[in-house]
Amino acid sequence: MQNNQILINIFRFVILVLTQALLLNHIDFLGYINPYLYILFILIYPITGNKSLLILLSFLLGLSVDIFSNSGGIHAAASVFIAYFRPLALKYSFGISYEYNTLKVSSAEFTQRLLYVSSLVLIHHFILFLLEIFNVNHILLILKSTLFSGIFSTILILSAITIFSKNNK
Amino acid sequence: MQQILFFFVRNKNFLLFVVLFSISIFLTIQSHTFHKNKFVNSSNFISGSIYSIKNNITGYFNLRTENNLLVEENGRLRKKLEGYKKIIFIESIDTNLLSFKYRFTSAKIINNSFSSTKNKLTINKGKKDSLDTDMGVITSKGIVGIIDRVSNNYATVQSVLNTNSQVNAKLKKSKHFGSLVWNTKDPNIVQLIDIPRLAPVKIGDTIVTGGKSTIFPEGILIGTVIDFIQTKDENSLILNVQLFNDMTNIEHVYIIKNLDAAEILTIEKELENAE
């Protein structure tokens, strides 16, 4: 990563944590639905960037959100999980050769982007709610929260990618 | 030796993932036990001050309703004071009747949550204002929760809307007592369990704190019964209680310090050790 990119990523990290803690955690749409925008950081981390660094940063990202929402380590666990499995999702949604043809998430086809974002969002939210509720008896509640929050987050993340990408037409 | 080193280098991502994931799970499990989440909570310096700044801004939006609440409470207290005045003039004061057992500290809520299953609040007072864990938190209308962790300037409160929360409560009329828990369904309705089957319960009955612990004094308001059902084994009742507090917009709270708590706890501990 160049200096410029490092700065952008640090800036993105701080802004996303603050937005999540101060704004998005308090939306409570229909009583319990909150979007989790902060995983945008993991989704648009440079594809050629260092993978170990991404896993470490995801842990710190999740932990910062946890500190603000008093939730132990649930965000950290879910973030580390999707950071580790991100290459798999990339391969699955953009084809095997994604690493060689300098792909940008913001410039990919919409269906591919939707598949990539929604799959990681759903996995993240499922782990998140599983750990938060921590009771297999409430599996329906877990799935319901995953689905509704997942839809909300996916829409928000896709719009954020579209709005903040430099090459929109 | 080289083989082992190669193994570590080749699988460094996986190992890093496993280590960090286990740490997160460990922190999660720790946070499920009251008082145990030592590292991850919003009463620390950074998140505490960020929440204070945010609250300084958003606090203006509902000044009017908050003022009304305070005026209402002032009126109520003034009325009570008039009552005491009469007593004082007529006869000498019996200091045993006036309760000096509890000390009240006011605080402001700087972060509130009610949408997850383990809700916590953050308040803007801490050790410097002689707050400590296990003190009760109430508003002028009813109970809010119990202090979970304190730092120098901030404290986190385990809300009654937390599946770990258990508060001793009773029916105001018949004095039957049980535990107040929350089934995560509605942020304004909690459940009172372990009420004996024969207790005379009516819809609209008032529920107050039981005073069987050192945290809350007896008779702090909680809510009213909106309906009740029998448990499957038909031995006890489950009451749905509508809270007097609207947990979604509380702002000013009082923290109750029981001055005798240490004494009561020591004697209870001695008893336990003797057994």
A141 chain-B contacts, CB cut-off 8 A:
184
CATH number at residue A20: 1.10.1760
Q: Is residue A37 part of a domain?
A: yes
| Closest CA of chain A from B193, distance in Å | 20
Interface check for A70 against chain B (CB to CB < 8 A): the answer is: yes
Beta carbons of A59 and B24 less than 8 Å apart: yes
Is residue A169 in a domain?
Answer: no
Residue contact B118–A56, C-beta within 8 A: no
User: In terms of residue numbers, what domain contains A144?
Assistant: 3-164
SS3 track for B58-82: HHHHHHHHHHHHHHHHHHHHHHHHH
Specify whether the CB–CB gap between B205 and B173 falls below 8 A. Answer: yes
Count of alpha carbons within 13 angstroms of residue A55, beta-carbon side: 18
Q: Which residue has the higher pLDDT, A76 or B262?
A: A76
Task: Write out residues in chain B with pLDDT < 70, as ranges.
Answer: 34-40, 85-100, 275
* Mean pLDDT on A44-53: 85
Domains of chain B: 40-275 (2.40.10.350)
DSSP E strand boundaries for chain B = 102-111, 118-123, 136-138, 143-150, 155-162, 167-171, 177-181, 189-196, 206-209, 221-230, 236-243, 252-258
CB atoms within 10 A of CB B263: 11
What single-letter DSSP state applies at residue A26? G
Q: Report pLDDT digits (tens) over B74-116.
A: 878 877 777 776 665 555 555 555 556 788 888 888 888 888 8
Residues 6+ positions from B261 with CB-CB distance below 8 Å: B134, B214, B215
Total of domains in chain A: 1
User: Please, which pLDDT band fits residue A38 given cuts at 50, 70 and 90?
Assistant: very high
Interface contact flag, B31 A72, Cβ < 8 Å: yes
Instruction: Say yes or no to pLDDT of A155 above 90.
Output: yes
**Cβ A77–B25 below 8 Å, yes or no?**
yes
Q: Assign A127 a pLDDT band (cuts: 50, 70, 90).
A: very high
Flag if A71 and B116 touch (Cβ within 8 Å): yes
Rounded to two decimals, the ipTM of the complex is 0.85
Residues of A in contact with B30 (CB under 8 A): 72
Task: Render pLDDT for B239-253 as a digit per residue (tens, 0 to 9).
Answer: 899 988 888 888 888
Residues A52, A59: Cα–Cα separation, whole Å: 11
